[in-house]
């Protein structure tokens, strides 16, 4: 039966109960990759409680920044000195200070482009549909309720035992989420 379940979803009334529930679920031995916590705003400490892995958003932003800036600066140098050298009033072909502004702008632009891509791909988005969207209760996850999901994939997951476990964490309710 667990093969058909995406997981069990427990609803909480506030962030304190969710944090508490997440800690206890992790202590009970469920894998970090199979426990998910949903909240209508970023809750401080929730990622630590979940044992969330390091993410790479700033790293990719740095890659974008260096790549975008260096490529623009290189393009300016190459086009002005190698590909089409042209003497403009005796100014040096490689006018290095004047080449900085476009490179600065492209540094920022590519950092942000890479960052936005890292946010979306890191979160496996865009994704138009998701099993959780089938659940009527989950509509309040973006408004005023807090949710804990234990995925059916977890080796310690058992539809009955896990449900009993979640019900002991003082949730508003616990519902099953079907696999697509």
Partner 1 sequence: MSAVLPRHTLPPVIAPGETNASISAKIGDATLRRPTGWLWIGGFLLSLVACALLFVGTCWLLYAGLGIFGLNIPVAWSFFIANYVWWIAIGMGGTFISAAMLLTRQGWRNSINRFAEAMTVFAVSVSGIFPILHLGRPWFFYWLFPYPDVMNVWPQWRSSLEWDFWAILAYLIVSIIYWYVGMLPDLATLRDRARSLAQARFYGLLSLGWRGEARHWMRLEQFNLVTAGLAVTLVFSVHSMVALDFSEGLVPGWHETIFPPFFIAGALFSGFAMVLVLGIPLRTWFGFEAYLTERHIMNMAKMMLAAGLFVDYSYFSEIFTAFYSMDKYDVAMTMHRVVGPYAWVFWGTILFNVAAIQLLWFPRVRRSAAAVFVIALGVLVGMWLERFMLIVTSLYKDFLPSAWGMFWPTFWDIAFLIGSIGLFFFMFLLFTRLLPMLSMFELRKLVASRRGEEAQQ
Binding site for partner 1 (CB under 8 A): 15, 36-43, 46-47, 50, 52, 55, 57-58, 61, 75-76, 79-80, 83-84, 88, 91, 95, 98-99, 101-102, 104-106, 108-109, 111-113, 115-116, 118-120, 122-123, 125-130, 132, 138-144
Residues in the chain: 180
Closest CB 152 distance from partner 1, rounded Å: 17
Nearest approach in angstroms of CB 37 to partner 1 is 4
Alpha helices (H) in the chain, listed in sequence order: 15-27, 46-50, 57-77, 100-122, 159-167
Kind plus residue range of the DSSP H or E element containing 12:
strand 5-12
Question: Do residues 37 and 177 lie in contact, with contact meaning Cβ atoms separated by under 8 Å?
Answer: no
Q: Classify residue 14 by its DSSP letter.
A: S
CB nearer to partner 1: give 28 or 62: 62
Tell me whether residue 28 or residue 113 sits nearer to partner 1 (CB atom). Answer: 113
Phi-psi region of 120 (alpha: psi -120 to 50; beta: other; left: phi over 0): alpha
| Residue 82 beta carbon to partner 1: minimum distance, rounded to whole angstroms | 11
> What crossing angle do the helices spanning 159-167 and 15-27 adopt, rounded to 10°?
140
Which is nearer to partner 1, 8 or 118 (by Cβ)?
118
Of 116 and 158, the one with the shorter C-beta distance to partner 1 is: 116
Give the closest residue to 37 by CA, choosing from 27, 54, 52. Answer: 52
Judged by CB, which is closer to partner 1: 37, or 166? 37
CB of 64 to partner 1, least distance (A): 10
């Amino acid at each position: 039966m667990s093969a058909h379940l995406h997981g069990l979803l427990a609803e909480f009334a506030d962030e304190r109960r969710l944090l508490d529930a997440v800690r206890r679920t992790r202590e009970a031995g469920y894998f970090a990759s199979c426990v998910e916590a949903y909240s209508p705003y970023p809750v401080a400490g929730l990622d630590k409680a979940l044992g969330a892995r390091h993410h790479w958003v700033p790293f990719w932003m740095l890659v974008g920044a260096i790549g975008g800036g260096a490529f623009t600066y290189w393009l300016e140098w190459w086009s002005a000195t190698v590909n089409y050298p042209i003497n403009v009033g005796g100014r040096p072909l490689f006018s290095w200070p004047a080449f900085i502004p476009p490179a600065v702008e492209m540094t920022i632009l590519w950092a942000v482009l890479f960052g936005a891509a890292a946010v979306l791909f890191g979160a496996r988005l865009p994704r138009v549909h998701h099993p959780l969207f089938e659940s009527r209760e989950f509509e309040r996850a973006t408004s005023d309720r807090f949710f804990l999901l234990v995925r059916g994939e977890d080796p310690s997951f058992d539809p009955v035992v896990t449900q009993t476990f979640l019900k002991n964490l003082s949730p508003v309710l616990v519902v099953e989420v079907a696999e697509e």
